[in-house]
Amino acid sequence: MTIIVTGAAGFIGSNLVQALNQRGETEIIAVDDLRDGDKFTNLADSEIADYLDKDDFLERFARGQFGKVRAVLHQGACSSTVESDGRLMMDNNYRFSRDLLESAQGLQVPLLYASSAAVYGAGRDFREQRECERPLNVYGYSKFLFDQRVRRQLPVARSQVVGLRYFNVYGPHEQHKGAMASVAMHCFNQYKAHGKVSLFGSYGDYPSGGHLRDFVSVEDVVKVNLFFLDRPQLSGIFNVGSGRAQPFNDVALAVINRLREQQDQPPLSLEMALLEGILEYSEFPDHLRGKYQCYTCADLERLRAVGYQAPTLTVEQGVARYCDWLQGTAA
């Protein structure tokens, strides 16, 4: 039976395709926009049945041209939190998703889609409830608006609809994201190029490198997607994070110390990394002031309540594994 993955050549989408392959699933239709042609490398080591450009996909899907579809894993989106073109953002993240939802419901095909922790904005309460949602940018608003559409649909849904609010995801296959790549990847590239790492300086009530985020490995994100794929009776909107808030300093140190370990060098404490100039801080950028989430931490109560009990990787565990993968890719 066919599984459709949108954004299949992107970060999370390509990891999902690989995970499906590992389960023996190869009847996969990959949907993406390959105007950034280098993204093809994310799919080069995967098995798919067909590829479609996103502009050709919706109409064919609505007409039922793909036969029996087990589910659509909708990961495609414009994910830049600093994109200012609201029309582009709404076309990609809201209208495309709205039309896909309508078609999936008409065909009674399960839809699992990527939402975002950006819907919560600067709040400190990260529960999947309307009163907690105050997006700070148009990216967060586009995800928020589609979540509201889904909420209205859920009481009368004819098939599974699951929204997954990803927190700060890091891991393999994000190299094409440029400035929007994870802080883990930026730290890795900085250390390899210059032997040191730079983080944002103080902002708000947080010290330099002390802004707190819920950093979640793409390995855990994939596991949650597969959990819901295997349980079509479950619907709703769920947070997907580690359930822990850790400072950016932890990510930087995890990268530094993993790469030092590979060079048979002893680990450094935060104080020693700063003293030796291996970790430094830059002034917080003006263009992010008022639009920056200084703190995020996924409330996983709703996810746990529907039966997902797997532990999540800590920054130290997940970033070490990611560094190993990046080293292997570079080699």
Amino acid of residue 313: L
Instruction: Find the DSSP H helices in the chain.
Output: 11-22, 54-62, 86-90, 96-107, 138-153, 183-194, 218-229, 248-262, 270-275, 301-305, 315-330
CA-CA distance, 177 to 38, in Å (whole number)?
A: 11
CA-CA distance, 243 to 217, in Å (whole number)?
A: 12
Find out whether 174 and 182 touch, Cβ atoms under 8 Å: yes
Q: Which residues are catalytic?
A: 139, 177
CA-CA distance, 325 to 331, in Å (whole number)?
A: 10
CA-CA distance, 253 to 323, in Å (whole number)?
A: 12
* Region of residue 46 (left: phi > 0; alpha: psi -120 to 50; beta: else): beta
β-pair type (111-116, 69-74): parallel
Helix (H, G, I), strand (E, B) or coil at 114: strand
CA-CA distance, 118 to 199, in Å (whole number)?
A: 21
Amino acid of residue 321: R
